[in-house]
Amino acid sequence: MTKARLEAFSDGVIAILITIMVLELRVPHGTGWTALEPLLPVFLTYALSFVFLGIYWNNHHHMFHLVDRINGKIMWANLHLLFWLSLTPFVTAWMGENHFASLPTAAYGAVMLLAAIAYYILQTAIIRHQGPRSRLAAAVGGDLKGRLSPLLYAAAIPLAFVHEWISDALYVAVALIWLVPDPRIEARIAAEH
Amino acid sequence: MTKARLEAFSDGVIAILITIMVLELRVPHGTGWTALEPLLPVFLTYALSFVFLGIYWNNHHHMFHLVDRINGKIMWANLHLLFWLSLTPFVTAWMGENHFASLPTAAYGAVMLLAAIAYYILQTAIIRHQGPRSRLAAAVGGDLKGRLSPLLYAAAIPLAFVHEWISDALYVAVALIWLVPDPRIEARIAAEH
Amino acid sequence: MTKARLEAFSDGVIAILITIMVLELRVPHGTGWTALEPLLPVFLTYALSFVFLGIYWNNHHHMFHLVDRINGKIMWANLHLLFWLSLTPFVTAWMGENHFASLPTAAYGAVMLLAAIAYYILQTAIIRHQGPRSRLAAAVGGDLKGRLSPLLYAAAIPLAFVHEWISDALYVAVALIWLVPDPRIEARIAAEH
Amino acid sequence: MTKARLEAFSDGVIAILITIMVLELRVPHGTGWTALEPLLPVFLTYALSFVFLGIYWNNHHHMFHLVDRINGKIMWANLHLLFWLSLTPFVTAWMGENHFASLPTAAYGAVMLLAAIAYYILQTAIIRHQGPRSRLAAAVGGDLKGRLSPLLYAAAIPLAFVHEWISDALYVAVALIWLVPDPRIEARIAAEH
């Protein structure tokens, strides 16, 4: 089976998720600066989740660039990833509307952790399908980022109950780690052309 | 006519359906565990419908893999399938918000049954267009799953009025039956390469 | 310029429109049959508009099948069509929630009329770009349906104030006229292969 | 990396944005002409933003027509553009529901300005990747429109506090400037075929 429809479907779901989050930026009733003030945390969480979903789309793009064929397991591993990503608008809105309270902040981390695990499962399913000598297996080699991110998310969940800003700082840190697209994969792509 | 736009359009509709269901997971006002409690049945129904739509997307993908050309009848049979699938968010929300009451549970089964019938009509339209010796006709051969699912849904509708958990168990059972992608089609695809 | 992105963008917009209309089927609070009753007109209007948008998608698909290259004018004529189609969910909900009252019924006809005119402008822009000897020009030849539909919509608008059921009957009639995909285009496509 | 998924993803996001704005056209409770009256400013703002997003889609289409390969920087510059575009429904609804009050009108201009800057950054990232002798660099040459639009938006922001109609007139003016697709790029495309 070819990967075209899996890519198109994933692009569609991520495009919708990244866009419907903006519906939580409820239009204020007033027209003054004070009307905008309560929207600030919602806006910041929106921007964070936009970057978060953008990273997943970027990495998904990079990863499937090295994939030729897919099978049923890869399709379900991909749907599993999309399931956890689909909860992003929910935790984004819950955290944003409650000024980063402890439980919503921890829930945000939990969804991020589960998405990171799902991404790892998907990557493993692809490598298993392609064999250990595949281009992707070589490219992700000692995948430091992929192992570090779940650890940081796992740490952020209990730390949200100590102080929510610790977790928020960790989320921003993970975002920054990933913002640079994986140089190993980019290098490999560049080397092949 | 080529199948590219039909696939893209169906991917788009299913991607949107699978994503807008999450809007029914209304953001709770509180920030404690008790605020999450009433969301549990909504979440479980969401997960069930996510799997349900994922199965349809998977099977649609598998089926059209064996299709080369389409005609007007296939296009309308496909739109007919999308129509019943488009009611999934409605019955999902109705069942989830009412803790699986009898009528909403039966309505969920009715939509599932109508979607299953529409899928069967689509499959028949394709086989009729391709001829009885087509690859799809051979692949679906004695389509046990495709015949069993509507029967289970048809049984679940009246049984929801006996006890709604019987129907819920049947829905989960059908989901599990389909979760494994059709080995006959996969085998045929693998054999051809 | 190639038509691929124009087709993909139009597919996306129509897929979203056909899907978000279902959000107007508000989940009822009760769980009995009486809770479903007020939804009946909303459901019927939803089904009508689903067919209406399905027809546009089908005809768009057929028409662009005969298009090779596009220009800026075609892109804007296509966006103009999408603009009027994008008002479908609004008039659908307004008409459905008011049990087909006169003004909403007339507004529904007005949006349908403007969409039909926009489709005609798009078709004309394509034929002008391709030249009068193009395949599309030959295929639409004496386009009876395309000329009849706007007339029926134009008649339905004032007739909604005589009795709304006259207009509703006209809308259903136009839908039935178009449900069969254009045999001239299909025949031409078949003849070429 | 190829541009196919970047185009598909951008098409998806813009298609969703252009469509969900219509959800702000809330269905009125009444069925008379007076029920439609308060919707007029919302409708006009919707039409303006529809044209605005249509222009971006058109220009995006034209620009990427001259792009062969992309890199990580272009992907992020594109996501950055989509981020500001994604705020269009929010400012559209805020401005429309408040009859073009000063602050919402200025906010609309600010989002338009930031989107214009993001578009310029994206264009620069592409030209930097392709080299100064690329087709795109030649096509945008002395990009008058691209430099004029941000200036007009920047002027519209403070002028909204003098009188909001000045800003509205400027927004309409920018829309009209761009409505004609870039003749230099079209000419170049035509010349190459």
Confidence (pLDDT) at C116: 92
Q: How many CB pairs under 8 A join C and D?
A: 75
C42 CA to chain B: closest CA distance, Å? Answer: 13
> Taking the mean position of all CA atoms in its chain, how far away is CA D151?
15
Confidence (pLDDT) at D147: 79
Residue to mutate among D2, D7, D16, D21, with most A CBs inside 10 A, is D16
* Contact residues on chain A for D102, CB-CB shorter than 8 A: 31
Confidence (pLDDT) at B161: 93
Q: Among A167-176, A184-193, C55-64, D90-99, where is mean pLDDT lowest?
A: A184-193
Rg value, chain B, Cα: 18
D101 CA to chain A: closest CA distance, Å? Answer: 7
Phi/psi at A161 (5° precision): -85, -15
Q: C133: burial class by Cβ within 10 Å (0-12, 13-18, 19+)?
A: exposed
Residue in D7, D27, D58 nearest the CB of C93 = D27
Asked whether the beta carbons of residue C19 and residue B9 sit closer than 8 angstroms, the reply is no
Residue in A18, A57, A65 nearest the CB of D1 = A65
Task: Give me the tens of pLDDT residue by residue for chain B, a chain 193 residues long.
Answer: 678 889 999 999 999 999 989 888 888 888 888 888 888 888 999 999 999 999 899 889 888 988 888 888 899 999 999 999 999 999 999 998 887 789 999 999 999 999 999 998 999 899 888 877 777 777 766 667 777 888 999 999 999 999 989 999 999 998 888 776 555 556 655 665 5
Q: How many CB pairs under 8 A join A and D?
A: 75
User: D139 CB contacts (<8 Å, ≥6 apart)?
Assistant: D66, D182, D184, D185, D188
Asked whether the beta carbons of residue C186 and residue B71 sit closer than 8 angstroms, the reply is yes
Residue in C22, C31, C54 nearest the CB of B101 = C31
Angle at D18 between CA A25 and CA D99, to 5 degrees: 60
* Contact residues on chain C for D57, CB-CB shorter than 8 A: 9, 79
Tokens read off for B156: 């679940």
C27 CA to chain B: closest CA distance, Å? Answer: 6
Q: How far apart are the first and last CA of chain A?
A: 25
Identify the top-confidence range among A75-84, C32-41, D120-129, D144-153: A75-84
C72 CA to chain D: closest CA distance, Å? Answer: 6
Q: pTM of the full predicted structure?
A: 0.89
* Contact residues on chain C for D54, CB-CB shorter than 8 A: 76, 79
3-state secondary structure of B24: helix
Residue in A16, A33, A180 nearest the CB of D16 = A16
Short-list D11, D9, D43, CA closest to D27: D43
Residue in D5, D71, D94 nearest the CB of A27 = D94
Rg value, chain C, Cα: 18
C193 CA to chain D: closest CA distance, Å? Answer: 27
Span D96-108, pLDDT tens digits: 888 778 999 999 9
Q: Which residues pair with C69 in a beta bridge?
A: C2
